Chain A
Amino acid sequence: MTTWTDYLTTDSPSSRRQARLGQLYRQWLAFKRNPLAVAGLVIVVALLLIAAFAPLIAPHNPLAQNLDKRLLPPSAVNFFGTDSLGRDIFSRIVYGARVTLVIVLLVVITVGPVGLLIGATSGYLGGWVDRLLMRITDVFLAFPRLVLALAFVAALGPGLENAVIAIAITAWPPYARVARAETLIIRQQDYIAAVRLQGASQWRIVWKHVVPLCLPSLIVRTTLDMAGIILTAAGLGFLGLGAQPPIPEWGAMISAGREQIFDQWWVATFPGLAICVVALGFNLLGDGLRDVMDQR
């Protein structure tokens, strides 16, 4: 046991891997001291587990309609009640975790690399490339995000994929900004000059030496952004422009419960709570990660 801690906390790591693991371990120790951050981590891990094991957790089929049992209040059989088609709301929320996770992951894996590359290129090359790319970024930043996403979905047609595309188109500029700001600092460093003197190509410098150092602040930014992505996706779903029925998407579920809000409050309330909890989880986790990884 102690050998592991010794291996991780040594002052003179003998390999690159040991140094890296040691750093991660120290960050984990700092992270663990922040109860709110740990709460965020627990929520996010719970979301992952629920999405992964949805069939085991959900007591009912999320799509099975049963008109005899429509709009039943929460009970021991239907924890969160049933909706207007007699579907179990708890099961739909459990399966909805998958939809939310898919949207978030798709947006992040498209937006992160694009923003990173644009920002790092812009910051490293400077000159007219920088001016052009930052102008484009400014134009997109000047837009109201949701309204622009709405306009894109209106043009592309409603649906999960198009919602993801629309959110991605509106979400990349802040990443490019962060990556550029980091790059401007990094490129002044002596070791970049050293690599350049050794004859590394510009592409290699950006990709191998600049980008990895931008990653911590980008990871923090992404985590904090996830809450925003979830809220935008839910907003699109609420307007009927995201995932189409009968897919159990949380925003669309709130929209479905709108008509019964005064009589059957549970239909719209529980999906909204799910969104709140998950968004809160990502916000807490992001705050915690920022304190640990991005100390500037």
Chain B
Amino acid sequence: MTTSNISWGGRSAVWGRIAGRELSTVAITFFGLLLVTFLIARVIPIDPVLAVVGDNAKADVYDAARAALGLDKPLWQQFATYVGKVFTGDLGKSVLTSNLVTDDIKRVFPATLELATLGTLIGVALGVPLGVLAAVYQGRWPDQLARLIGLFGYSVPVFWFGLMGLLLFYAKLGWVAGPGRISVAYQDFVDPITGVLVIDAALQGEWEAFRDAWSHLILPAAVLGLLSVAYISRMARSFMITELQQQYVIAARVKGMSEFRVIWRHALRNAFVPLITVIALSYAQLLEGSVLTETIFAWPGLGRYITNSLLNADMNAVLGGTLVVGAVFIGVNLLSDILGRLVDPRTR
């Protein structure tokens, strides 16, 4: 009775310490993110006051506008205002769309999520088995294949790869639909529920629209997926090599367990713990990779929103988008840490 109480108390204290450490790390990193976006906004050579009042404004008009924008205050005070605004969800107004940046991002984010999620699923579905086979058949052809795909994934520019995919699978073979998220004909068939088009279409039973959206989605997702296959398979291989040398693998073999079961049920299960972090990181990287991919595929997501705003010098939108991508990065990292701890009893 008492012992179990002590151990429970000890355990929750450990969890509390871990949570505290994680949270402080996240807080500091997020603070750094805010500081960097704020400082970027400060170094812009364009004077934000002149953008409001025009080049020929009198000195008093200029000063009034400057005060209205809060630019006469000391830098740390401006930063405090900025932080306060971010926490209330105010990222300013986009000059290009004349919407609030927050609203714009809410609108475009599901499209990016859709792309990155399917890309990661493809990456896991191909990358993990490939990495496992490469570890089992070290030095033989599956290993060479994994190495080749890895080298390719680290060497090919994603935007060029996307273009080549369009050229081959859309223009020459006609297997998939072209750029965009859904054909104009189906555009109004699907009401936004989750914002993820294929899910919305399926929920509403619009199967024609679903197939159309799917054939738009699969190529950019596959392009992103191949990049994550490179990373995931490489890491899966190295984790599996470590696991296959462990004594429990020998014990399982000695007991007469089938090689299939040893590899896929026992070794892979242990290798999966560190792989969770790898998959999470690759998910975050795909969010970033989508910046260029979305441009190629005219995919109306966050990446294209950032680049479009960038080309139109719409700094509020650029920095808002950067902040959101950075925050997602931090969030995914935190989530992978927590998941890793939950799955692996040794880290508790």
Which residue of A140, A144, A147, A268 contacts B160 across the interface (Cβ within 8 Å)? A268
- Asked if residues B155 and A154 are in contact (CB atoms below 8 Å), the reply is no
> How far, in whole Å, are A150 and B309 apart by their CA atoms in the complex?
11
Instruction: Say yes or no for B159: interface residue by CB 8 A criterion.
Output: yes
Docked-complex contact B330 and A147, CB < 8 angstroms: no
Kindly identify which residue among B25, B28, B32, B310 contacts A154, using a CB–CB cutoff of 8 Å.
B310
Known: A150-B306, A151-B40, A151-B322. A275 touches B29 (CB 8 A): no
Choose among B43, B160, B291, B321 the residue that contacts A272 (Cβ–Cβ < 8 A): B160
Residue in B closest to A228 when the chains form the complex, CB atoms = B154
CA distance A280 to B164 in the complex (A): 18
What mask results when residues 157 to 198 of chain B are scored 1 for a CB within 8 Å of chain A, else 0? 111110110110001000000000000000000000000000
Interface residues of A in 240-296 (CB under 8 A from B): 240-241, 251, 254, 258, 261-262, 265, 268-269, 271-272, 275-276, 279-280, 283-284
A234 touches B157 (CB 8 A): yes
Interface of chain A, main secondary structure:
helix
Is A238 an interface residue, CB under 8 A from the partner? yes
Q: Which residues of A contact B272 (CB under 8 A)?
A: none
Chain A residues with CB under 8 Å of B157's CB are 231, 234-235, 238, 251, 254, 272, 275-276, 279
B43 touches A156 (CB 8 A): yes
| A251, B37: Cα distance in complex, Å | 26
B295 CB–A CB distance under 8 Å: yes
A254 in contact with B160 given A151-B37, A155-B40 (CB within 8 Å):
yes
Count residues of A near B (Cβ-Cβ below 8 Å): 45
Q: Mark B319-336, 1 if CB is under 8 A from A, else 0.
A: 101100110011001000
Among the listed A150, A152, A235, which residue makes an inter-chain contact with B159, where contact means beta carbons less than 8 Å apart?
Answer: A235
Please judge, given known A-B contacts A151-B40, A154-B315, whether A261 and B163 are in contact too, CB under 8 Å: yes
A239 at the interface (CB under 8 A from B): yes
Contact assessment for A147 and B155 in the assembled complex, using a CB-CB cutoff below 8 Å: no
Contact B322–A276 (Cβ < 8 Å): no
With A136-B32, A268-B163, A280-B151 as known contacts, state yes or no: A157 contacts B45, CB within 8 Å.
yes
Q: List A139-187 residues whose CB lies under 8 Å from chain B.
A: 139-140, 142-148, 150-157
Alpha-carbon separation in the docked complex, A135 to B27 (Å) = 11
Residue B329 contacts which of A144, A155, A234 (CB distance < 8 angstroms)?
A144
A157 to chain B, nearest CB (A): 6
Are A276's CB and B156's CB within 8 A? Answer: yes
Residue on A nearest B324 in the bound complex, by CB: A147
List of A residues within 8 angstroms of B311 by Cβ: 239-240
Q: Do A144 and B295 touch across chains, with their CB atoms under 8 A apart? A: no
- Answer yes or no: B65 CB below 8 A from chain A CBs: no
Question: Per-residue CB proximity of B275-292 to A under 8 Å, as 1/0?
Answer: 000000000110110011
* Residue B203, interface by CB 8 Å: no
In the complex, whether B59 has a CB less than 8 A from a CB of chain A is no
Which residue of chain A lies nearest to B161 when distances are taken between CB atoms in the complex? A272
Whether B78 is near chain A, meaning CB under 8 Å from some CB there, is: no
Q: Is A71 in contact with chain B by the CB < 8 A criterion?
A: no
Complex Cα–Cα for A279 and B156 (A): 7
A206 in contact (CB, < 8 A): no
- Kindly state whether residue B318 has any CB partner on chain A within 8 Å: yes
Q: List the B side residues contacting A235 at CB < 8 Å.
A: 157-159, 291-292
Question: Is B75's beta carbon under 8 Å from chain A?
Answer: no
Interfacial chain B residues near A262, Cβ < 8 Å:
166-167, 171
Q: Does A211 contact B (CB under 8 A)?
A: no
**Are A238 and B156 also in contact (CB < 8 A) when A142-B33, A144-B325, A154-B318 are?**
no
List CB contacts (< 8 Å) of B44-78 with chain A.
Answer: 44-45
Chain B contacts of A94 at CB under 8 A?
none
User: Which residue of the partner chain A has the closest CB to B310?
Assistant: A154
Q: In whole angstroms, what is the CA distance A157 to B329 when docked?
A: 25
Tell me, in angstroms, the Cα distance from A136 to B161 when the chains sit together: 34
Pairwise interchain contact A150-B155, C-beta atoms closer than 8 A: no
Q: Is B36 within 8 A of A143, CB to CB? A: yes
Task: Looking at the assembled complex, report how far the CB atom of B53 sits from the nearest CB atom of chain A, in whole angstroms.
Answer: 21
Chain A contacts for B330, CB-based, 8 A: 142
CB-defined contacts of B45 to chain A, threshold 8 Å: 155-157
Shortest C-beta distance, B227 to chain A (Å), equals 11
A269 to B166, CA, bound (A): 12
Q: Which B residues lie within 8 Å of A154 (CB)?
A: 40, 44, 310, 313, 315, 318
A258 and B157 CA atoms in complex are apart in Å by 14
Q: How far is the CA of A241 from the CA of B307 in the complex (A)?
A: 10
Cβ contact within 8 Å between A269 and B326? no
Give Cα A145 to B329, complex, Å.
11
The smallest C-beta distance from A57 to any residue of chain B, in angstroms, reads: 23
Cβ–Cβ contact A258 & B163, under 8 A: yes
A279 to B152, CA, bound (A): 9
CB of B155 within 8 A of CB of A146, answer: no
Nearest to B147 among chain A residues (CB) is A36
| Contact indicator B163/A142 (Cβ below 8 Å) | no
Q: Which residue of A lies closest to B321 (CB)?
A: A147
11 A-B pairs besides A142-B329, A251-B157 with CB distance below 8 A are A135-B28, A139-B32, A146-B288, A146-B292, A148-B36, A153-B310, A155-B45, A155-B315, A272-B164, A275-B160, A284-B151
Q: 26 A–B contact pairs at CB < 8 A?
A: A135-B28, A138-B25, A142-B33, A142-B326, A144-B288, A147-B288, A147-B325, A148-B322, A150-B310, A150-B322, A151-B319, A153-B310, A155-B40, A155-B315, A227-B154, A238-B292, A239-B307, A254-B157, A254-B163, A258-B163, A261-B166, A268-B163, A275-B157, A279-B155, A279-B156, A283-B151
